[in-house]
Amino acid sequence: MSRHASYLPKGVIPAILLPFNDDLTIDERSFRDHIRDVAATEGLSALTINAHSTEVASCTFDEQRRVLDITQDEVGDKLPLVHGIWADGGLEAARIAKMAAAGGASALLVFPPAPFTMGQNAGMAVAHFKRIADACDLPLIAFQYPLATGQGYPKDTLLRMCDEVPTIRAIKDWSNNVPQHEWHMRTLQALPRPVAVLSTHSAWLMSSLVLGCNGLLSGSGSVIADLQARLFRAAQGNDLAEARRLNDRINPMARVFYADPAVDMHNRMKEALVLLGKLPRAVVRPPLIKIENAEIERIRLALIEASLLDTTERRNAA
């Protein structure tokens, strides 16, 4: 049973990275260091594991369980853990949910099944979430993809999901559409059983937060958790001047992290942590490949612009 059984998803939730050795095995020592570094940030409400940021698509079931065990060992009672449910089928999704609940997770981030890219209906979506809900009693976070992907849930489907699956307590909003994003906040957060909207619009985070999100769940929090926590606090306190000041520091990182192709976003975050001296290497698993030196240099310059890396360190590393 989770040590945070009453946890409801909200606030600032970084999605941490998963370091690998040169032979592509998990670098457990560096992973532990990374967990401790991010978890020490003031103002966090949870950490997310076994999601995009940990390259979950290339991790086995046993590796996901090991990631959970290591994170629990390092975090202890400090923070709840949100565990990703990445599965193309409902049976595997339920299996992962049971494992995560038994391992002490406090909430589940449910990715949409890949077959939905070929079409879905509300009944399919509701059945998928009900199967996961029947496997455990943890609060669920529905990952809302852009509608154009085929994996996003239309408004009527999302409302039916929230109505028929009571353990859906939040969405991770990646709708990538401002009017839809605002509809999510105005509608879901005002339901009789409110469903929190957690922004993952990290490329335009300030704009998203000032609309009124209940929180944010972001892979870039693996690098800039402190800036994100302070920006969220400023937005919640209606301190627009402070929010703009913080956004000026976040913007350089957003530009380099979320450049095309988007699939490399966490690859770039690993390179940033190497430049900051927080990871020994930036190894990714196939099909990802190491980014080129010119892009690494752009990341270095962005770190300097964000006042995260000074020019002396840049010259010494060049």
CB-based burial label for 33 (10 Å; 0-12, 13-18, 19+): middle
Tell me the backbone φ, ψ of residue 296, rounded to 5 degrees.
-60, -40
Q: pLDDT at position 4, please?
A: 56
Residue 162, Cβ neighbours under 10 Å: how many? 23
| Alpha-carbon gap, residue 282 to 277, rounded angstroms | 11
Sign of the Cα torsion 93, 94, 97, 98 reads negative
Reported as a pLDDT band with limits 50, 70 and 90, residue 257 is very high
Say which CATH superfamily domain 11-239 falls into: Aldolase class I (3.20.20.70)
Contacts 24+ apart (CB under 8 A), 64-67: 64/96, 64/99, 65/99, 65/103, 66/26, 67/18, 67/26, 67/31
The structure tokens 């353990």 sit at 167
Q: Is the pLDDT of residue 7 over 90?
A: no
pTM of the full predicted structure? 0.95
296, two tokens: 């690494």
Taken as a whole, the chain contains a residue count of 318
Q: pLDDT at position 44, please?
A: 98
Q: pLDDT at position 5, please?
A: 58
Reported as a pLDDT band with limits 50, 70 and 90, residue 316 is very low
- Sheet containing 47-49, strands listed edge to edge, beginning at the edge strand earlier in sequence: 11-14, 215-218, 196-199, 168-173, 140-144, 107-110, 81-85, 47-49
Q: Is the pLDDT of residue 14 over 50?
A: yes
Q: pLDDT at position 314, please?
A: 46
DSSP β-bridge partners for residue 82? 48, 107
Q: Is the pLDDT of residue 226 over 80?
A: yes
Average of per-residue pLDDT values in the chain: 95
Cα 36 from chain centroid? 17
Reported as a pLDDT band with limits 50, 70 and 90, residue 119 is very high
Contacts of residue 96, defined as CB under 8 A and 6 or more positions apart, other chains included, come to 61, 64, 83, 85, 86, 87
The structure tokens 């202890």 sit at 76
Q: pLDDT at position 6, please?
A: 75
pLDDT tens digits for range 279-300 = 999 999 999 999 999 999 999 9
Q: Is the pLDDT of residue 235 over 70?
A: yes
